[in-house]
Structure 1
């Protein structure tokens, strides 16, 4: 019985060995076939697009008015081997040129094709198509220009909070360096767009300056912005009404003072007085007749620190008083 089991065990081992050997032979055959398939495929001709990258050399006192385009592509034709070696050598086709003292660099389609062929790592490749007909670059005398920063901000304050002072910016301007004709188009330079909501406290942070095009260099890539915020409270005064263009006759105004209510920051609360306001009633366009008349009141002066100014009334009434004529004779 034991002898029979040993025989069966040996037979099982032989079958497993045979199966493993068959699998190894099969995998070897597949591998060899794959290698031959790759060799055959790489020996065939293909076309493929490859990006062109430009580098240039220009005198220190010159700046380009336009930079080489970054979307130039050449269609390459050749065997798979040559295309593979080309892509392994460089990720792009490098083209270098010298602007020189002339200040111009021009390539037509034929010249551009010749430059690209010379820059290829594999000389057995051909270029069948280029998506640009010509490359024209021009340089001018390098110039600098100082322009103010233009902030693109959205500010929203929490209830009863406002700016306590103007925004503080450091630096508040940047220097642009580039060709004169390019810089002449700019009168300011924007920052990135930022949004601040529900502000309750003063905020200081660095704000990135918008990235320039390659033909322009900036003196700063960010600026520091301070947003001074404080709580506002309500205050009010009775302010006298000043008459403008009054008639020669005696005139009485009612009321002669109007209540002015406004919001003011806590830091400026004690510095605001009623004399900082001026209320004006202009009688020039008003019909002066006997009896009761009304004239509108305007705010002609107010402190910069106050907001939401409200008058308790928008007009005043005036009465024209004329002296009564004596109906009796003077005593002898």
Structure 2
């Protein structure tokens, strides 16, 4: 392949030409990206000012399509964002009707965006709701926590929550699906003693569900822990069809973590280890996995030795 050879003058002219092309492209891109454009985005809906005396259920998805006017710069930055901005819809009009015209709330919606962006329309422009009888239900509170403990410290007992239950109010079809209500995650570093705190309940994502109270007191028992090793007899379940079942070995070695406070309470009798003979009958396994079916709540299982055992069956 022939190689194009240029003299010094030609190389200088070529360099100037390439720079002009690059400069022209950058000038065009800067001009183009500074213009205003209309584009569509998907946005989640958050309902506000819901009527207190009416239980409602949305009849459409909680995601709408927004036509937004903005510059190319804003479009670029919005594309780079990892989270999408949601919009709030005012439900105060549901006091005397079962629909909301979103097109009538464009002024309210535009105030939720920067001044240099303008919402032109929202689709669907009308949201419909089904009203049902409001019901109450008490559900347990589930406290979430992410604690970093000092060495040899951990949670040593069940969490204490006050109150243990909260009252949720809303449409029957929504309320019956809620089994518990979580708190915000409790966080702390270098923990070596009990944690006492007031935890707020997770923010309600549904405007048609009310929760009371909105915060609970949580106590997380923390104490020093240590390792304890026990030998527990092994039992065979579902062995009635056999005249005898011999397991090798007949005991398993359990390593558990337990608090110093409860160390003496942990005995062999507090644990139960079994194998299921149906694993051999149904699946033909050559060794049976060990299953721990009983263990104190204040213990944490670390290791089971062996995890599988051999057996001899006499029919």
Which bin holds the TM-score, normalised by the shorter protein? 0.3 to 0.5
Normalising by structure 2, we get a TM-score of: 0.47
Rg larger for:
1
Normalising by structure 1, we get a TM-score of: 0.46
